[in-house]
Structure 1
Amino acid sequence: MKFAKLDFKILQHLHKMEINKINRWWKGLDVATNFPFIRDRLVECYFWMMGAYFEPHYAVARAFVTKVTCLLSILDDIYDAYGTYEELEMFTKAVQRWDTNCIDQLPDYMKLWYSEALNVYNDMEDLMSKEGKSYRVQLAIEAVYMIFTFCS
């Protein structure tokens, strides 16, 4: 029983550190100012990923997928509640290209979302390339591309 309690406390500490790190990333985006129209779903997204990647050694995957899910939640609100048709057409084409050269044509809130999405995927690619698994990030980028192709 002592080991079970100790294991629980260690795991709880790991989860606190993870959510703290993800929360700093979220606050760094200054979501309340830059995206005042969105639903703040950070904790919900983290708990969702806890259900999918519950084992401690999946900490990196949990953090990455939580960030991606949060960005997708913002994206959903951009498309459903805020963006104009013309802005959304430009935005869709820019994301389909997955190129930073397209960013200058977008409104500020879309620029922020797009640059942050690129940053999250680039950070993950750097981390995965150290392990020789960078192909996984490319598959994730292709999944985003497929979402935008399907939606357009």
Structure 2
Amino acid sequence: MVECFFWAVGVYFEPQYSQARVMLAKCIAMISVIDDTYDSYGTLDELIIFTEAVDRWDISEVDRLPNYMKPIYTSLLDLFNEYEIKIELEQDRFNGVHYVKEAMKEIVKSYYIEAEMVS
């Protein structure tokens, strides 16, 4: 987590961006967990299910996942729900969570393509 936070400090170093630093550090940590899952733990069959679940972005997809992937998927959805709530409470700010979700979907698809190539 410390490494993730230092990455975020490199992007948002001004004091007024403390919330953005925390949010980015959590995103980087989640990306790291997902990357490790694709690189080291998941089989191609499991990874395609996970990739499809992320693309649908629906909590009902959790039932299709292997047990070890369920906490990763629910944590991902919970993290972005938390972001949406925080930003909605601050009504004067632009809500770009949708765009970050789309970027996360693209990252996951890219990890699957990489896993296919390596196999």
- The alignment's TM-score, normalised by the length of structure 1, stands at 0.68
Q: State the aligned residue count.
A: 111
Preserved CA contact (<8 Å) 1:125 1:137 = yes
Unaligned stretches of 5+ residues in structure 2: 114-119
Larger radius of gyration: 1
Structure 1 residues not aligned, in runs of 5+: 1-41
Q: Percent identity?
A: 41
RMSD: 1.4
The equivalent position to 1:78 in structure 2, one of 24, 31, 37, is 37
2:100 matched residue in structure 1 = 140
**Distance across 1 between alignment mates of 2:69 and 2:78:** 14
Post-superposition shift, 1:88?
0.4
Matched, 1:60 2:25: no
Query: Which structure carries more relative contact order (alpha carbon 8 Å, separation 6+)?
Result: 2
Pick one of 85, 92, 106 that aligns with 1:126: 85
In the TM superposition, residue 144 of structure 1 has moved relative to its aligned partner by: 1.2
Scaled by the length of structure 2, what TM-score is found? 0.86
Q: Label 1:81 to 1:45 Cα distance change in 2 as closer, same or farther (>3 A).
A: same
Q: CA deviation at 1:134?
A: 6.0
